[in-house]
Amino acid sequence: MFESLVWQKDRLLYNGLVFRLEHYRSGDWDLGDECFVFYKIKKLVDQYEHFFASREFTCRHFLELGMWEGGSLPFWFEAFRPEKMVGIDLMERGDSAHFQRYVRERGLEQRIKTFWGVNQTDSQRLLNIAEAEFGSTIDLVLDDASHVYGPTLSSFETLFPLVRPGGLYIIEDWAWEHWPECHTPESSLARQEGLTRLIFEIMQAAGTSEALIKSVTVHEGFAAVERGNAPPADFKLDHSIVTRPRGEAQISMAGRLKAAIRAFRS
């Protein structure tokens, strides 16, 4: 799906489009605003390529949470060519002139929609948008929004039930709390609760039963949750997790420790 990508020092070329790589932006940039702003790096895109190369996946309906400046929407549209793509963001930026021209010149007005000023914790708003734009089910949800535990859990519990069986819910940049650059006081995430806890909880739910969460694939840059076949009813993640009572786990651990000590002494 990414065979036509051309990576250069400060830009990515893809199907005739130019994406400015923000991580490598410098004063040498020569295209002004005639480009898409892109915050993904080659390492992350390579992880996506490896992931999707190992499966047959058709994406008709694509929903992205967290557009920032909208550059990821045309990137994913070129990759999947979905019938309908929707982007949602908390900010009130609006579509750039370059993005509007891309949609208009390629006749994509009915295939790509953006909704600015929408909070990912606004469950009713998310459901209304999904119903109006997709009707029934979603093939792929990609969450690149807050990167914070509470809001990400909220939108996961709202939207995961809408994903079709075999569809995917991807949480991007889940591992930021393990990256030293995010620990500095200057980081907007420094005092926030990260997503490691959420990924662990999703894995616990997958371990409890594959009926709703069939599998979880974890890369450094993202975690992909595959939807199972069971129809969800009032989905809450913690209700999908069965664990041994904490007291029993502590007793079991103490028992194993005592057995190990006896074996050592004998």
Which residues is 226 bridged to in the sheet? 168, 215
Q: Are 48 and 1 in contact (CB under 8 A)?
A: no
pTM of the model: 0.89
Taking CA atoms, 2 is separated from 17, 52, 57, 187, in Å, by: 13, 10, 14, 32
Residue 265, pLDDT > 70, answer: no
pLDDT given for residue 248 in this prediction: 57
The DSSP-derived string for 120-175 is TT-HHHHHHHHHHHHSS-EEEEEE-S---HHHHHHHHHHHGGGEEEEEEEEEETTT
Q: Are 130 and 159 in contact (CB under 8 A)?
A: yes
pLDDT given for residue 244 in this prediction: 81
118-177 pLDDT, tens digit each: 999 999 999 999 999 999 799 999 999 999 999 999 999 999 999 999 999 999 999 988
pLDDT given for residue 139 in this prediction: 98
Instruction: Read off the tokens for 107.
Output: 């006749």
Q: Which CATH code of 2.40.10.10, 3.40.50.150, 3.40.50.2300, 3.40.50.720 fits the domain covering 44-265?
A: 3.40.50.150
Per DSSP, 232 falls in state P
pLDDT given for residue 20 in this prediction: 95
163-172 and 138-143 strand pairing: parallel
3-class secondary structure, 64: strand
Note if 61 is an active site residue.
Answer: no
- Kindly tell me the burial class for residue 192, based on how many C-beta atoms sit within 10 Å of its own C-beta (0-12, 13-18, 19 or more): middle
Which residues is 225 bridged to in the sheet? 169, 216
What contacts 24+ positions apart, CB below 8 Å, involve 175-178? 175/220, 175/221, 176/147
Higher-pLDDT residue of 166, 27: 166
User: Catalytic one among 61, 98, 147, 219?
Assistant: 147
174-232 pLDDT, tens digit each: 998 887 777 777 777 767 788 999 999 999 999 999 999 999 999 999 999 999 998 87
Q: Are 86 and 59 in contact (CB under 8 A)?
A: no
96-113 pLDDT, tens digit each: 999 999 999 999 999 999
